[in-house]
Amino acid sequence: MNTRILVSAILLCSALASHAENYFTTILGKSEEEVEARLDSVWHHFFTPADIARYDADGETSVYYECPDGTAFVMDTGNNDVRSEGMSYGMMISVQLGKREQFDKLWQWSKRHMAYPADSAWDGYFCWQCAPDGTKTGGSNASDGELYFVTSLFLAAERWNEPAYADEANAILHKTMHKNGAESGVYNLFDRDNRMITFVPDSMGYTFSDPSYHLPAFLDKWARCATSDRSFWAEAATAARRHLAASAHPATGLYPDYSLYDGSPYRWPHAGYDTSMYMYDAIRCPMNVGMDYNLCGADRPAQADAMRRLLRFFKDDGFAHGHFALDGSGASGGYSRGMAGANAVGATTLVHADNEADRLLAHEYIGRLWDAEPPSGKYRYYEGMVYFLSMLHVSGHFLLDF
Is the pLDDT confidence value at 7 over 60? no
Residue 19 inside a domain? The answer is yes
Residue 400 inside a domain? The answer is no
Residue 402 inside a domain? The answer is no
Catalytic, out of 81, 85, 292, 383: 85
CB 392 within 8 A of CB 398: yes
How high is the pLDDT of residue 384? 98
Is the pLDDT confidence value at 359 over 90? yes
Per the prediction, the chain carries an average pLDDT of 95
How high is the pLDDT of residue 151? 98
Residue 399 inside a domain? The answer is no
The DSSP annotation for 272-302 comes to: SS-TTSBSSGGGGHHHHHHHHHHHT-SSHHH
40 catalytic per annotation: no
373 catalytic per annotation: no
CB 282 within 8 A of CB 237: no
How high is the pLDDT of residue 55? 82
39-43, 53-57, 101-105: the lowest-pLDDT one: 53-57
How high is the pLDDT of residue 12? 55
CB 301 within 8 A of CB 289: no
How high is the pLDDT of residue 1? 46
* Total number of domains in the chain: 1
Residue 175 is part of a domain; what is its CATH number? Answer: 1.50.10.10
Alpha-carbon span 338 to 149, nearest angstrom: 21
**Angle CA 113–119–125, to nearest 5:** 50
Residue 15 inside a domain? The answer is yes
How high is the pLDDT of residue 195? 98
CB 336 within 8 A of CB 280: no
Mean pLDDT along residues 233-256: 98
Residue 401 inside a domain? The answer is no
**pLDDT tens for each residue of 111-167:** 999 999 999 999 999 999 999 999 999 999 999 999 999 999 999 999 999 999 999
Mean pLDDT along residues 77-101: 98
Catalytic, out of 281, 292, 299, 358: 281
Residue 149 inside a domain? The answer is yes
**pLDDT tens for each residue of 44-60:** 999 999 998 888 878 89
Task: Report how far apart the first and last C-alpha atoms of the chain are (Å, whole number).
Answer: 28
Is the pLDDT confidence value at 5 over 80? no
**pLDDT tens for each residue of 205-221:** 999 999 999 999 999 99
How high is the pLDDT of residue 58? 80
CB 236 within 8 A of CB 190: yes
Print the domain residue range for 173: 3-394
